[in-house]
Structure 1
Amino acid sequence: MTSEIGLRDRKKAATRAALSTAAARLARVSGIESVTADAIASEVGVSPRTFHNYFSSKEEAVLAHFEESVYDWVNLLRARPSDEPIWDSLEHVVVQIVTDGTRSLEETAAIMELVESSPALLAKKLEVHLRVTRLIGEVIAERTGTDIDTDLYPNLLHTVVGAACRASFDLWMGGKSGASGPEELVRGAMRQLRQGLPQP
């Protein structure tokens, strides 16, 4: 029984991922305005009803990878040793994410470009961002003995680390940084943050 439930959950996860990938691919080709739930479902070989079982809108489907990446951050951070300094934990997590061979940085960049070109996707991303990024702040608060609702520290820390990752990613994708890879840039960004971001 347990194995059947596990198989069913894996199939659901695979279907959700396939629908999200198809939504992003179609949106990049035709623009999010021209994409329909029916077209996304057809691309994956499922019914429109199945699409709506997983997503309330095409925008939500496109942004599913972003939302899942936040959950990845949360799970990886929770898995770090409880007595590890928070800066060490965050650096381990960030490096693990950017060096994960199963993640395509080019695909991530393409989705980011797509989102930033669409007011509808930007609005939906803000909604998702407000909902899920708090989860990272909550884990930081747990590990540092602070309160996500009353203390600046956990809110500030998860925001600046996220910004450092984005800056590193943008610089790497620009192709002019001279870095050997995104890991070098991320480690450099974390080092500068630890030092208080000193002026060069």
Structure 2
Amino acid sequence: MSPADETRPAERSGLRERKKRETRVALSQAAIRLCVLHGWADVTVDQIAAEANVSVRTFRNYFTGKAEAIAASHLERMHRVADDLLARPAGEPLWDSLLHAVLGQFVPRGNSTPQNDRWREGVRLMLAEPALAGEIVKANAAAQQELAEAVARRTGTDAAHDMYPKLVAAVVAAGSAVAVEHNLRAEGPVPLGVALAQVFEQLAAGLPVP
């Protein structure tokens, strides 16, 4: 067997996993888009599958329902935050790296999401849906664990035994949630990027009393 033959199974496996991840993201984004625009109660799994151009059976292979599908976007986004954190320059201060990583995923360049009053109201109503709360909690726990492992690698600590990486991950998750909430609910909405920058500036400063 040639070296090329030996690498092909790994390449195929990597391609399959990438396609699975892309399908999960497409289904999750379709669920969010439809529920924000049309309301939670008026969106079905059949509609989500059609929006993502896959079968209902494919949807069921990935998610148990639309709540799990929506929550998956949070986990995927934090997965990319962890990846971005590890890709930042080694000598960069940790909180600067975290801010860049979070901004890159929460406020991506070229984002075409319609951030108007109707969209923000739709997001608020969707996030208030009781059926979604439990899935968000589960996704957030998994996201924090993954981010803690990235922080541990970045700082030379141990995610299994040291509190520091877990604390940083928890603070990043909470701070990001506060920024999103402020963006959605503030009168005269504050751009999400501005809100995130303000949150991380205060965190990096040790949350001084105003």
TM over 0.5: yes
- Matched ranges for 1:1-200 at <5 A: 12-28=20-36, 29-32=38-41, 35-103=43-111, 104=113, 106=115, 113-176=124-187, 181-200=191-210
Return the alpha-carbon distance in structure 2 between the equivalents of residues 178 and 115 of structure 1: 18
Name the aligned partner's letter for residue 106 of structure 1: Q
Check the 8 A contact 2:175/2:200 in 1, yes or no: yes
- Secondary structure of 2:115's counterpart equals helix
Check the 8 A contact 1:22/1:43 in 2, yes or no: yes
- CA deviations over 1:56-111 (Å, ceiling 9, x no partner): 33222122221210111111011112333312211221233344224438399567
Cα offset for 1:13?
A: 4.9
- Secondary structure of 1:197's counterpart equals coil
Return the alpha-carbon distance in structure 1 between the equivalents of residues 189 and 202 of structure 2: 18
- Secondary structure of 1:63's counterpart equals helix
Alignment CA distance shift 1:25-1:182 (3 Å):
closer
The alignment-based identity, stated in percent, is: 36
Check the 8 A contact 1:116/1:122 in 2, yes or no: yes
- What is the number of equivalent residue pairs in this alignment? 197
- CA deviations over 1:141-175 (Å, ceiling 9, x no partner): 12222222332211211222222222233323345
Return the alpha-carbon distance in structure 2 between the equivalents of residues 132 and 196 of structure 1: 23
Name the aligned partner's letter for residue 148 of structure 2: G
TM-score (norm 1): 0.77
Which stretch of the first structure deviates more once superposed, 21-30 or 61-70?
Answer: 21-30
Alignment CA distance shift 1:66-1:105 (3 Å):
farther
Return the alpha-carbon distance in structure 1 between the equivalents of residues 176 and 114 of structure 2: 12
Alignment CA distance shift 1:191-1:105 (3 Å):
farther
Cα offset for 1:119?
A: 1.9
Cα offset for 1:177?
A: 6.8
For the aligned residues, what is the CA RMSD?
3.3
Check the 8 A contact 1:20/1:62 in 2, yes or no: yes
Which stretch of the first structure deviates more once superposed, 162-171 or 123-132?
Answer: 162-171
